[in-house]
Amino acid sequence: MSPRSILTAVAWPYANGPRHIGHVSGFGVPSDVFSRYHRMAGNRVLMVSGTDEHGTPITVAADAEGVHPREIADRNNRIIVDDLVALGLSYDLFTRTSTVNHHEVSQEIFLGLLKNGYVFPKTTLGAISPSTGRTLPDRYIEGTCPICGYDSARGDQCDNCGNQLDPTDLINPRSKINGETPIFVESEHYFLDLPAFADALGDWLATRKSWRPNVLNFSRNLLHDLKPRGYTRDIDWGVRVPLDGWRDRDDKRIYVWFDAVVGYLSASIEWARRRGEPDAWREFWQGPDTDAYYFMGKDNIVFHAQIWPAQLLGYNGQGAKGGTPGSYGALNLPNEVVSSEFLTQEGKKFSSSRSVVIHVRDFLSRYDPDALRYFIAVAGPETQDTDFTWAEFRRRNNDELVAGWGNLVNRSISLTARNFGAIPAAGELTAADRGLLESTSGAFARIGDLLVRSRQKAAATESMRVVAEANKYLSDEAPWKLRETDRERMATVLHVALQAVDDCKALLTPFLPHSAQTVHELLGGRETWSAAPQIEEVKDLDDGSPYPIITGDYTKQLATWNSTPITPGTPLAAPTPVFKKLDDSIVDEELARLAADR
Ligand SMILES: [Zn+2]
């Protein structure tokens, strides 16, 4: 198969605080497993994202601290960048929505939609403070959600049910400044004409075959209730509306969600500009041989299966009103929206009050990133809500990583190091030897097929089944008993076992890139097997302001998706354990921490 170009579009974490393990189980680890697999399989991957920094929660936090919203965004951007790198997420570019580049690309999409008639101005009702007569931005209005009855819904969104709202939708709206009831007066906004995309979205969804059924059904159901949606908001922090009479206004911005999804495109363009090849992004957005996969938690499906595809269709001139593509040319729609369900955290133990969360940073201060990545891969919320418990985390770590995979690595390499000092050559193979080697080398096609279809839980489980098979082989053949009686046979068994270890290392690399590198070195390799992402301090390409990005050179890594013959004679040293066994006591310690946090 010739190499494909694959855009991995990863949901943009919102910069109002550190991320918890539920967040990274939705957008983070699955997108990285997918990208690492495709790079190993020889495909060209562009994996992009960044922090989503506009909108009401950021301005509310800034008001509460008496600082500029930029300060909140800067602080959380850096925390999130640190966390995602520590987890080993291999972004080609992780940037932010406050760059000049992002603002310009968002404005270009707006103008393309406007040119084709898919955004239109409409006079709507805006809130005014009766005591001051001034505009009351969305963030200062709260009230009861008309959909779920939550009594602290915001003027733009209900945080309880996740629905988008307009301030006029709220029941008993009130000012958060002084509690007064706002008065609503006429105010001009732009709206996205979603009903004009009903047919085009329906046709597109009808051709989507490989999506997880719950995601596809949810997306199709959204088509029953298409209404124009506000493209602009009464807020002073965000992307300016690029029109005369609007550009300089301090009370009108593009709605945060409508700029955040443009981030996939703007980050691709920034990546290309930073490489000095400003058109390199087109390979991932315009080619017929390119596929785009979007990764997120289920609360974001509406923006990726409806709003962003509608923006793209309108920009391309492919809605009911026709039109012509904007200056970038026609842009590809998502091939697949890969959405996870929710990961609750000790949900049963703490269900009586507000939910508890475990922050990525706290987690990684005490445990290895691969231990978390493994839990998410094998027990994460791929197709149903799942609960993380410390007891189950400890069990999986000890029984599966330490006693399963770690034990296979440790026994094979330590026996070989002690008895031969190097990888021995194999003599004549028995049926058992050939059976194991066929099983480990044959696993690449089977597990690769699962990973292509984002069936990561099945892929991780199958990889560990192959590990168990190799462990059984080693126990059955018992090479330690052959030391005195049949040294040649002992060499053959260890050669076969080490080849199986090397194959399993490759099979597990998408899930466990850090320990795969360790195993590669224990097997005598000195090169980079699986590349790690890096933080680079850069300057905004247009206005020079400094910020950190995540990037990496993943083309120089050795990792490939097939069985590579090991080299007899390669010196081996006694291994150190690859994974840490966790004591029983960590469960109670962690639960006590969670209880104290509440
Ligand atoms: Zn609600």
pLDDT at 1: 64
Residues 18 and 151 in one domain: no
In whole angstroms, what is the distance from residue 42 CA to residue 516 CA?
18
pLDDT at 597: 79
163 CA from centroid of ligand 1 (Å): 6
282 CA from centroid of ligand 1 (Å): 39
Domain residue limits at 499: 366-380+390-525+568-585
Residues 106 and 226 in one domain: yes
222 CA from centroid of ligand 1 (Å): 17
Which CATH number do you get for residue 220? 3.40.50.620
Q: Does residue 546 form part of some domain?
A: no
161 CA from centroid of ligand 1 (Å): 4
141 CA from centroid of ligand 1 (Å): 15
Kindly report, residue by residue over 297-316, the tens digit of the pLDDT.
998 999 999 999 999 999 99
Q: Does residue 324 form part of some domain?
A: yes
Of the candidates 489, 239, 308, 512, the one whose C-alpha atom is nearest the C-alpha of residue 396 is 512
In whole angstroms, what is the distance from residue 142 CA to residue 139 CA?
8
In whole angstroms, what is the distance from residue 316 CA to residue 511 CA?
37
265 CA from centroid of ligand 1 (Å): 30
169 CA from centroid of ligand 1 (Å): 11
Residues 21 and 166 in one domain: no
576 CA from centroid of ligand 1 (Å): 52
158 CA from centroid of ligand 1 (Å): 5
546 CA from centroid of ligand 1 (Å): 38
In whole angstroms, what is the distance from residue 336 CA to residue 316 CA?
19
Residues 321 and 410 in one domain: no
Q: Does residue 360 form part of some domain?
A: no
221 CA from centroid of ligand 1 (Å): 19
Q: Which of 189, 210, 231 is the last residue of a domain?
A: 189
What are the residues facing 48 on neighbouring strands?
9, 93
Residues 78 and 24 in one domain: yes
Residues 131 and 236 in one domain: no
Q: Does residue 553 form part of some domain?
A: no
171 CA from centroid of ligand 1 (Å): 11
Return the ∠ at Cα 192 (arms to 117 and 239), rounded to 5°.
105
379 CA from centroid of ligand 1 (Å): 30
148 CA from centroid of ligand 1 (Å): 4
Residue 8 Cα distances to 92, 263, 290, 430, 500, angstroms: 10, 13, 11, 44, 30
Q: Which of 189, 204, 219 is the last residue of a domain?
A: 189
513 CA from centroid of ligand 1 (Å): 40
Neighbours of ion ligand 1 (CB under 5 A): 145, 147-148, 150, 158, 160-161
Q: Which residues contact 473 (CB under 8 A, 6 or more apart)?
A: 432, 436, 496, 497, 500
364 CA from centroid of ligand 1 (Å): 34
240 CA from centroid of ligand 1 (Å): 28
Amino acid, single-letter form, for residue 22? G
The neighbour count for residue 476, using CB atoms within 10 Å, is 10
Which CATH number do you get for residue 137? 2.170.220.10
252 CA from centroid of ligand 1 (Å): 25
Q: Does residue 552 form part of some domain?
A: no
146 CA from centroid of ligand 1 (Å): 7
Number of domains in the chain: 3
Kindly report, residue by residue over 315-372, the tens digit of the pLDDT.
999 999 999 999 999 999 999 999 999 999 988 776 555 678 899 999 999 999 999 9
Residues 201 and 131 in one domain: no
Cβ(523)–Cβ(501) under 8 Å? yes
pLDDT at 257: 94
Q: Does residue 281 form part of some domain?
A: yes
Q: What is the largest CA-CA distance in the chain?
A: 96
289 CA from centroid of ligand 1 (Å): 41
Residues 408 and 428 in one domain: yes
Cβ(562)–Cβ(294) under 8 Å? no
Residues 103 and 75 in one domain: yes
257 CA from centroid of ligand 1 (Å): 17
pLDDT at 385: 92
Residues 14 and 145 in one domain: no
pLDDT at 474: 98
154 CA from centroid of ligand 1 (Å): 9
Q: Which of 140, 168, 189 is the last residue of a domain?
A: 189
Give residue for tokens 């069990």.
Answer: 395
In whole angstroms, what is the distance from residue 27 CA to residue 294 CA?
9
Which CATH number do you get for residue 497? 1.10.730.10
371 CA from centroid of ligand 1 (Å): 36
Give residue for tokens 């999130």.
Answer: 80
160 CA from centroid of ligand 1 (Å): 5
192 CA from centroid of ligand 1 (Å): 22
Q: How many residues does the chain have?
A: 598
Cβ(466)–Cβ(484) under 8 Å? no
pLDDT at 354: 63
Of the candidates 414, 394, 335, the one whose C-alpha atom is nearest the C-alpha of residue 574 is 414
Q: Does residue 541 form part of some domain?
A: no
50 CA from centroid of ligand 1 (Å): 27
Of the candidates 557, 423, 418, the one whose C-alpha atom is nearest the C-alpha of residue 492 is 423
In whole angstroms, what is the distance from residue 270 CA to residue 48 CA?
10
365 CA from centroid of ligand 1 (Å): 35
470 CA from centroid of ligand 1 (Å): 52
162 CA from centroid of ligand 1 (Å): 6
150 CA from centroid of ligand 1 (Å): 5
In whole angstroms, what is the distance from residue 19 CA to residue 361 CA?
8
Provide the token pair at 593.
Answer: 């921490």
Helices and strands counted in the chain (H then E): 21, 17
pLDDT at 390: 96
173 CA from centroid of ligand 1 (Å): 14
Residues 181 and 166 in one domain: yes
Q: Does residue 345 form part of some domain?
A: no
Cβ(356)–Cβ(594) under 8 Å? yes
75 CA from centroid of ligand 1 (Å): 29
Residues 297 and 428 in one domain: no
User: What residues in the chain have per-residue pLDDT under 70?
Assistant: 1, 350-354
